[in-house]
């Protein structure tokens, strides 16, 4: 298993079940399948049961989702905590089977969402990369802010929905904000450990433009 930045797990392997508790953050798991000793990841009020696979689990607020499970190879079962740890064979009302190339998003007070997710994009952070494909700027900024001391701030609500794309190093926040400012004709202001993006029509509050 591999942990992303700002992530924490607790490992509890027993004779009958291999359990990992994801307290917060994101982790990649590549598991040797053993039906007699299931591998189970506990994350909030859900468990992820391995069905012979490699997968990523993200716990935390990601675009409104409190849990995100992306399967790279094989399958996993996602179920409430009160479901037995035995390996399920079919989906049911409470158990969802997620297959390779698919991402499951769980949001409060909403039905589960399944969508296609390329393996290269889901595991980009393992290669110290971020991949954006028609991604909302607000989401891209949150990703960069996880990995960098200097934070990206959007100075106007209408900027959140701007779409961005490209492949960037995790540490390339400066290149990212400069390219976004140029592509969308935005004002870029450096203020301490913060990079602020604003529409050019907005009058800055006494702070002059400065490209970091």
> Identical fold at 2-117 and 128-199?
no
* pTM across the whole model: 0.81
Query: Which fold does the domain 2-117 belong to in CATH?
Result: Jelly Rolls (2.60.120)
pLDDT of residue 196: 96
Instruction: Give every residue of the chain whose pLDDT is below 50, as ranges.
Output: 206-211
Mean pLDDT, the chain, integer: 89
CATH 3.40.50.740 describes domain 128-199: no
Question: What's the pLDDT score for residue 202?
Answer: 52
Query: Which pLDDT value is given to residue 207?
Result: 47
> In the prediction, which pLDDT does 212 show?
52
pLDDT recorded at residue 205: 53
Give the pLDDT score at 110.
87
pLDDT reported for residue 85:
82
Long-range Cβ contacts of 65-68 (<8 Å, 24+ apart): 65/105, 65/106, 65/107, 65/113, 66/106, 66/107, 66/108, 67/43, 67/104, 67/105, 67/106, 68/103, 68/104, 68/105, 68/106
Domain ranges of the chain: 2-117, 128-199
40-81, pLDDT tens digit by residue?
A: 999 999 999 998 889 999 998 766 678 999 999 999 999 999
- Nearest partner of 54 among 79, 28, 78, judged by Cα: 28
């Amino acid at each position: 298993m591999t942990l992303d930045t700002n992530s924490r797990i607790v490992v509890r392997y027993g004779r009958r079940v291999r359990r990992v508790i994801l307290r917060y953050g994101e982790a990649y798991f590549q598991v040797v399948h053993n039906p007699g000793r299931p591998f189970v990841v506990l994350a909030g009020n859900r468990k992820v049961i391995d069905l012979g696979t490699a997968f990523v689990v993200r716990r935390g607020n990601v675009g409104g989702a409190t849990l995100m499970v992306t399967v790279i190879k094989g399958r996993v079962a996602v179920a409430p905590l009160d479901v037995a740890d035995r390996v399920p064979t079919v989906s049911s009302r409470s158990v969802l089977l997620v297959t390779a190339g698919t991402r499951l998003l769980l949001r409060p007070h909403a039905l589960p969402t399944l969508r296609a997710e390329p393996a290269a994009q889901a595991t980009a952070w393992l290669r110290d990369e971020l991949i954006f494909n028609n991604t909302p700027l607000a989401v891209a900024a949150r990703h960069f802010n996880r990995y960098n001391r200097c934070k990206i701030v959007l100075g106007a609500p209408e900027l959140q929905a701007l779409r961005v794309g490209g492949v960037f190093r995790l540490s390339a926040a400066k290149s990212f904000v400069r390219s976004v400012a140029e592509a969308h004709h935005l004002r870029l202001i450096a203020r301490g450990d913060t990079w602020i993006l604003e529409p050019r029509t907005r009058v800055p509050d006494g702070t002059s433009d400065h490209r970091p």
